[in-house]
Structure 1
Amino acid sequence: MDARTHAHAPGFPPGCPDSGDVLRALTASGTPHELTLVVVTSALRAGVEEAGDHERGLDRVRASLARIGALCGPAWSPSYYGKDLVLVRPGRHDPAALRLPLAVAAGGVRHGWAWDRLVLPSGAEPGFAALLRACYAVSMAARLCRDEPLLPALAPAALATVPGRLTVRGTASLLAGVLVRPYGERGTGAGEDPRMPGVPSADGWPGSARVAAGGWLVMTDVHDIEWGTVAPDPTGSRVTAGNAQELLDLAALWQAGGSPAEVFPAAYRIRQRRERELVDHLAALAYGVHGFGTLHGTFGDGLCGLVTDPSALRRSLARANRASAGRLASGAGAAPVGAGGIGAARPRAAFALHVTKTLKGTGQPPDGVQLFGDQLSRPAAEAALRFLDRMREAGPSAPGAHHLDHARRHRAHWLRHLPECCRSRATGLLAPP
């Protein structure tokens, strides 16, 4: 299958087609036939942390997947989305012959893979839907194999180990951790991500970055998309829902002996709904800065781009967050693009975004935007330090510990942005362990 005839997978190297486009073509005949399906996934967070930069880490992961896809050859119709490579070949085949790696020496990205066979039902749309659902299950198995390389690579066998291997929360996280896109429900316009109507494609970002002259570099992120945000106060009220949090009941059912045939279809429907909500949220945020810049879908649940006026970003983020209140909430960090260009602005915008992550659920800053160079108010500073102090008390293995690691790496920026009354406390808190 010629990659040039398909939509490009945004953000991936040239020649990497989008999975949705390729899978739709493979099922277009509507004729029932057997397929062998392989999914290769990646340890994205580890790659990002090692690279020290989200964009560079994501580029490393995508380049690694592209190398694997090229080695597998065109007979397997390699296609890409998120942090996954999908391989599909008509007929019964043994993927062991592909010698898929657990890690790639060039770049050192850790991967896992799993496979299965399925017979497509009659009809193009039923076949496409069945293949997407199969990708969901095999992707979950690939994640298990990534973290436990001794598990069997055959997806049903790997998934059969979940009850007893994972906790209910771990099972919910597994059900939520696979990227699902509501393919085919709305058409995309020119320059938009083929998976996310209304969101400018990541493929447009490198060109925008090259010609950047002034303005503000913006990075956005949906806070706590996995577990949702709970207010860090005595009420503990829920601020937003989370993908995994909504799957806890199904995770408990699976752990209690429910079959995948019972659990997976219901989980898949929830994931589709949540992804529709995410796409709508990101599209609203991107649309809100039209006329003042462009925000591209460079991250799975965030945007990156340039705006000329931070007030336009503030208005757009406030509107998008109001529209998805109780379900999703984004924060945004921005840094001026000065003489050092995008390269100098990138870590500053990333720092500003991380400030908003330490303040999630607090209502600080009120509009969800932090500009690099703007000192935090005393209430915001105290809320951020309370969050980081909780991370320190929880220990390095606790969920969210990476926030404290990031703050310690950027200690000088924190001290610069805190009011004088908070700096003494922060000096000790952010000291190397």
Structure 2
Amino acid sequence: MLGSVAIALLLRVGGTVLWLLFSIVVARNLSVEEFGLIFFVINVIMTGGTVAIAGYDVTVLRFGARFWRDEEKQEFRNLFSEAQQAVIVVGSIVTLALVVGVLAGLDTPVTHGMPIAIFVGGAITAIGLMSVERDVLRAGGKLQEALFAFSIIRALVPLILTTIAWLWGVLNTSVIFVAYLTALLAALAWGRWRIGKLELPPKRTAPAQYLKVALAIWPGNAGLVAFQGAPAIVIGLAGGLGAAGLFIAAQRIAQLGTFLTDAVRTAVGPNLAQADGKGQQEAVTHASFLMAISGLLGICFLLSLGWVLLWMFGPEYRSALPVLLVLLVGQLSWTVLGPTALVLNMFGEEKVRSVIGVSTTIMLLVVLPMFDTAIGVATVVAFMSWVMNFALWLAIRIRLNIRCGIVGIGIKEALWLLEEERYTLDNLLLRIKKRDKKH
């Protein structure tokens, strides 16, 4: 477990740092309004990508991990193909909706012209396909390959291309959008190449066996991404792109505090999917313990250096520090209550998770338009983060009779888990030393 977390952590950290550098290059060379526009569009793409994937990312991980464990490669292949087809269909529908918005004269940053609408629709489809490839590789035990495209390529390519454009003096919003789309296509190519190494059999014609499960998961996933991406979109529409720029800068830095917990969540997913019976509580306890430690480390890091990171964006972004601190209060809910949504999805309670996720997102969207400042929006987001995660935690306790989060870990259990992780780390280091000696 610790080895998987370490791999995920390194790739997540690398990707987060590269994305932060990309954001700084953009912020330093364009106006706050242009910065707000670029990341407004990217937020729409990321949110739309979750719509396009139609719940198949979790479905692929949940069932694919079991198929791979049981060496059922044909079922694994059929699931992968079904997921790809679903993303292409939904992505095409989203693109068509954006085109209709342009023709109807809808005045938003993503529908003010046909080129931007088609770009956003294509990028949304690409994000959906990338998510499927990522979770196919995760389910197949290829965590490093799965995260390399999503974490490294997606951030490194636009960083390189925008830096070159800046040095040549031709950096503008159009160049940045082209660089971002290039990164998505490169990541897709990488994922397809690595999946080819799994040596899966040819696809067999089969009915959409997993559509019902995916559709049950879909609202919850879409709700969570909307929960995370909607605040920047709403403030961009209600408070202007300047206010959106300040909020997005704080949000980008706040996400640095989650790279540890994201690494844990990524690594423990297959383990939770494969857990049965009494092993479920043990798997959840282990995951909650790692989430708590990683979350506290991330928050402490940002409390110490968050102001420095904001300063790197530029003098005009220093006023976003209170926004960052409020967002960290919301992030603490994941640290305390554990990987609640993941547990419900992996243990067959995806409908309950979706109901809670969609309900809290609707509440968030109802309240958000009442605020047109970055600090106001951040306060609403932090409060609703606690509401959503507590509701998910309560559902786990009631529906599964499982203790999730640090409230379910006693002192003796925590000490035992620490000792287990130390033992695992020692073995990992020993294997690395032996391998180095052989070379």
* Fold shared by both chains (TM-score > 0.5): no
Higher strand content, 1 or 2: 1
Higher helix content, 1 or 2: 2
So what's the TM-score if we normalise by structure 1?
0.30
So what's the TM-score if we normalise by structure 2?
0.30
